[in-house]
Amino acid sequence: MPELPEQIRELLASGLGVDRAPGPPGPISQVELPEARVPRDAAEALRAIVGPDAVLDDQEARVRHTRGKSTPDLLRLRAGDAASAPDLVLLPGSHDEVLAVLRACSERRVAVVPFGGGSSVVGGLEPEAGGFAGLIALDLRRMNALLALDEVSRAATLEPGLRGPQAEALLAERGYTIGHFPQSFEYATLGGFAAARSSGQASAGYGRFDELVLAMRVAAPAGELTLGRAPKSAAGPDLRQLMLGSEGAFGVITSLSVAVRPVPEVRVYEGWRLPSFQDGVAVLRRLAQDGPLPTVLRLSDETETALNLARPGEIGSGGGGGSEGCLAIVGYEGTESDVDARRARATRVLSDMGAAEQPGAGGSWERDRYRGPYLRDALLDAGALVETLETVSFWSALPGLYDEVSVALRRSLTEQGTPPVVLCHVSHVYPSGASLYFTVASAQADDPVAQWRVAKAAASDAIRTAGGSITHHHGVGIDHRDWYAREIGQLGIDVLRAVKATLDPAGIMNPGVLLPLR
């Protein structure tokens, strides 16, 4: 974990009023676990399905499968709160084993939380299992094979437990890539990417993960589904869409076929400075709607730009390293000729619209793009509250959405006595709209979990008022569930409950996640 420079600590104290440092969390052995509730006969039945070595009930396994990686998740675990820990962790090795486990759990009313990389930040791994006979975490790490590669169709069939780097390494050996690189890339799994509708940092060029999924096999308590017989079929509603974004509430994706592309010959990332966030948004919209579309296209607002570009010795000094304006990261991946052509055309658009090159910024972004989660741990140790949230809207609604969410966060945390700094960037673009990704930092209050919940609720209300969606790529989980219900309406909830009742009659799959319990 990175050490915080002294300048950062001084900035936390002077700028945010951080005046106490709770320090790092204690060892896993000190976390208090609830007594396991899974009945003995159920545990024996599960061991018979996956084998005794694939059933874990030790302290470390249970703690490491408790909740996800949101700031409230981490804060509660740091405080020794593992009340929602699973009773057992199962490591199935095949589709048939997953199917048998789900049937056994359904018969015995044991709740199941599918577990990939554990990187959910919206309560997606904290089912409401109090009314069940116990809770198991279904960890798919053993299901980690490249099952098939159709080079003619450029489609790869992979198992869901593959983490991002594992999948890319297997495909790279054959000359291919998925091109999906979210910030959680190092730990999240392919199954999790699909179940949460993940979007990677190169989504402008490769597409969102749900757009890449061609076919899948699903195990549910009621049986199995094989979906995606052919691309772009018009044979009725696309049932893949029921599983994409379902967050384990209906069943478990046990294999998936995804579109792949040749590993790019060239990767180039550049930084461009725009006079203001408004100017930058106009440039991104121009490129997204009229082209040429880069592979990576992101834009930081003035505050995020100032922090990203400030040199350590200038942090808090007002120097800012000449970091006025807003920084856009523009990246190109592909063949040398394709990259050269798109880069030349995009450069003309950027220059004509008032952008200036920012030397070194593209390389810095590429080097540091996965460091955020590690830095957050160090900031929590120092006594800061740091968390993120995201949304998406049409271009016409984006300015109002940006303003209202920023104001809601500042007002809520200031009223709690912890005035924050609020950063934002446009993280994903489309012809019709874009995603906004906010990062918030303040001093921790006496109860930082409650502190953030109040702020998050205010921001979520603002998102709804301003016409945004409650999530673009983090998912619904439990944290966004109430706002999601308002977004799709009661009839929409009833439709999804009917799907769940069909696939999961006993309601054991991630209960309370995505859909409120009755």
pLDDT at 442 over 90: yes
Task: Say how far apart CA 242 and CA 499 lie, in whole Å.
Answer: 8
Query: What's the whole-number mean pLDDT along residues 340-345?
Result: 98
Task: Say how far apart CA 303 and CA 211 lie, in whole Å.
Answer: 32
Residue in 206, 269, 402, 437 annotated catalytic? 437
pLDDT of residue 187: 94
* CA distance from start to end of the chain: 42
444: nearest Cα among 406, 408, 423, 418: 418
Query: What's the whole-number mean pLDDT along residues 430-456?
Result: 97
Q: What is the pLDDT of residues 66-117, one digit of tens each?
A: 999 999 999 999 999 999 999 999 999 999 999 999 999 999 999 999 999 9
Task: Say how far apart CA 478 and CA 244 lie, in whole Å.
Answer: 17
pLDDT at 372 over 90: no
pLDDT of residue 315: 37
pLDDT at 319 over 70: no
Q: What is the pLDDT of residues 257-292, one digit of tens each?
A: 999 999 999 999 999 999 999 999 999 999 999 999
* Secondary structure percentages of the chain, helix, strand, coil, to 5: 40, 20, 40
Task: Say how far apart CA 185 and CA 172 lie, in whole Å.
Answer: 16
Task: Say how far apart CA 13 and CA 417 lie, in whole Å.
Answer: 14
Query: What's the whole-number mean pLDDT along residues 485-502?
Result: 98
418: nearest Cα among 456, 457, 381, 455: 455
Mean pLDDT (the chain) is 94
* Number of neighbouring beta carbons within 10 Å of residue 230: 9
pLDDT at 321 over 80: no
The more confident residue out of 326 and 27 is 326
Task: Say how far apart CA 301 and CA 276 lie, in whole Å.
Answer: 8
As annotated, the residues of the chain forming the CATH 3.30.70.3450 domain(s) are 264-367
As annotated, the residues of the chain forming the CATH 3.30.43.10 domain(s) are 6-139
Task: Say how far apart CA 204 and CA 105 lie, in whole Å.
Answer: 41
What's the pTM?
A: 0.95
pLDDT of residue 310: 66
The answer to whether the CB of 283 falls within 8 A of the CB of 328 is yes
Query: What's the whole-number mean pLDDT along residues 46-63?
Result: 97
Q: How far is CA 8 from CA 4, 14, 425, 439, in A?
A: 6, 10, 21, 16
As annotated, the residues of the chain forming the CATH 3.30.465.10 domain(s) are 146-262
Return the exposure string of 76-89: e unless at least 16 CB atoms fall within 10 Å of the residue's CB, then b: bbbeebbebbbbbb
Topology of the domain comprising 6-139: 3.30.43
pLDDT of residue 313: 41
| Amino acid identity for residue 149 in this structure | L
The answer to whether the CB of 222 falls within 8 A of the CB of 503 is yes
Least confident of 17-26, 43-52, 294-303: 17-26
pLDDT of residue 305: 96
Query: What's the whole-number mean pLDDT along residues 397-418?
Result: 98
The more confident residue out of 30 and 284 is 284
pLDDT at 58 over 60: yes
Q: What is the pLDDT of residues 181-218, one digit of tens each?
A: 999 999 999 999 999 999 999 999 999 999 999 999 99
Task: Say how far apart CA 223 and CA 504 lie, in whole Å.
Answer: 9
pLDDT at 505 over 60: yes
pLDDT at 133 over 50: yes
Domain 370-475 indexed as CATH 3.30.300.330 = yes
pLDDT of residue 307: 87
pLDDT of residue 499: 98
pLDDT of residue 232: 94
Domain 264-367: give its CATH code.
3.30.70.3450
251: nearest Cα among 105, 118, 56: 105
At the top level of CATH, the class of 146-262 is alpha beta
Is 176 among the catalytic positions?
no
pLDDT at 130 over 80: yes
As annotated, the residues of the chain forming the CATH 3.30.300.330 domain(s) are 370-475
Question: Strand ranges (DSSP E) for 145-187?
Answer: 146-150, 155-158, 176-177
